[in-house]
Copies of this chain bind each other. A is one copy, B any other.
């Protein structure tokens, strides 16, 4: 599915790293939420609260996941999971469009 239907969207963007990373929050009827985000080239470290599923719609990045021994390359159409209460770093190599799902 290329769309999310019957959802609520917060108007204001979530803005990180001077706007190099921005996202929109989407809320679902079941109480869950996701962000649709966009990252420009650069290196960014994020802290999670809930565990997250990061689906890369388009782009090219390396991610350093918690406990990892090396960078992992992720491209459009691929995804990765991040544990809750953790930190991960991405090196964005091409503008990257993603969906972040907050898992419980």
- A residues with CB within 8 A of B: 1-13, 15, 18-20, 22, 24, 26-27, 36, 38, 40, 57-58, 95, 97, 99
Contact = CB atoms under 8 A, between A and B. Distances in A.
Contact of A9 (B20, B26, B57, B97): B26
B36 A13 contact: yes
- Chain A, interface SS category: strand
B15 A11 contact: no
A68 to B, nearest CB: 26
A8 B11 contact: no
Nearest to A40: B19
A95 B9 contact: no
B20 A58 contact: no
